Amino acid sequence: METLKKVLMVNAISSGATGILMVILPGFISNLFGTTINWPYIAVGAFLIVFATFVGITARKPQTSMVRLIIAGDVTWVIGSALIITEGLFGLTTIGYVATGAVAAWVAMMAILQYKFLRVAIQQASH
């Protein structure tokens, strides 16, 4: 269970830090990604701050259903990112698509580790 808690906290911290950066620096990010509007970055950043809070609270006392919800959110993020990259959505710069892919890879790793350690925690609880 301790490893699951640690992975959830890493997810919370990385999601929260990303969210804060997006809210504080939307102009820089939109310029880097080759877009001209800031509000999508602010909106996604605000969502990530809320998500990070939820993940951090869940990390303190993980419940299976809440961890599964977090994993589902992470998987949804990865699928959405893959669509953005493969379909060339939003006309991003190369840096924008690479950054989207890098974040998606990190989120995928979080989902995989959370799934793995949730299964371990469930197995340990059943013995």
pLDDT exceeding 70 applies to what percent of the chain? 100
The domain limits of the chain are 2-125
Q: Phi and psi of 116, rounded to 5°?
A: -60, -50
DSSP label at residue 90 = G
Q: What pLDDT digit, counting tens, does each position of 80-106 carry?
A: 999 999 999 999 999 999 999 999 999
pLDDT for the residue 45: 98
62 neighbors 8 (Cβ within 8 angstroms):
yes
The pTM assigned to this predicted structure is 0.95
Q: What is the residue-averaged pLDDT of the chain?
A: 97
Residue 1 has pLDDT above 80, yes or no: no
Residue 63 has pLDDT above 80, yes or no: yes
pLDDT exceeding 90 applies to what percent of the chain? 98
Can you tell me whether residue 34 is helix, strand or coil?
coil
Can you tell me whether residue 1 is helix, strand or coil?
coil
pLDDT for the residue 19: 98
Identity at 121, one-letter amino acid code: A
- Mean pLDDT value of segment 51-58: 98
